[in-house]
Amino acid sequence: MAAHSTKEQRQGTGAGHRDAMAMRLRAMTEGDLPQVIRIERQCYPQPWPGWLFRRLLREGRFCQVAEVDGAVGGYGVMVVSRQRAHVMNICVAGACRKHGIGRRMLVHLLTQARREDARFAWLEVRPENHAAIKLYRASGFRKTGMRRHYYPARGGRENAILMARILVPRR
């Protein structure tokens, strides 16, 4: 996958959008993994292990990074199979939040899902992740259920909200 550096992806869209960071979306590489894993560990109480990211890259899954001022500021991982897209992970480093990076990564992932002829997208989100839920709702996702004991957590397991949306075919 070629790097994307359109004006929209660098600067964001929409009137009044705050974005002081130079950002581009591009394919994740093995060389990005130390930064990706560091962000993962900073953001999640039970982070994905490094071997999982390596496996996803090796399997050719859609793994992207948001490069901000020359460093990885966030990433997204998605799997498309049988016209269904599973948005597995979108994560933005704390210092890079509130600049539209998560929104642009989600739009980018869904655009790629359409290119792969996906008709449906789904994801899981922690109930207390209000910022992510707000982003997903604004992007057309709706709550479709609950996955009980989905996330590993200190002292047990946490539930996840299951959200989904229909994808309009590409033109």
- Report pLDDT digits (tens) over 23-79: 999 999 999 999 999 999 999 888 999 999 999 999 999 999 999 999 999 999 999
Q: Judge whether 127 lies within some domain.
A: yes
Kindly give, in sequence order, each residue whose CB lies less than 8 Å from that of residue 171, ignoring residues fewer than 6 positions away. none
H helix or E strand, kind and range, residue 93: none
User: 48: domain range?
Assistant: 7-166
Q: Is residue 171 part of a domain?
A: no
- If one counts the domains in the chain, the total is 1
Q: Following CA atoms 90, 93, 97, 103 in sequence, which dihedral angle do they give, to the nearest 10 degrees?
A: -20
User: Does 103 map to a domain?
Assistant: yes
pLDDT of residue 4: 39
**Domain membership flag for residue 1:** no
Query: Is residue 158 situated within a structural domain?
Result: yes
pTM of the complete model: 0.85
Average pLDDT, whole number, for the chain? 88
Give me the mean pLDDT over the 89-113 stretch.
96
| Cβ count within 10 A of residue 110 | 21
Is position 2 within any domain? no
Does residue 117 lie in a domain region? yes
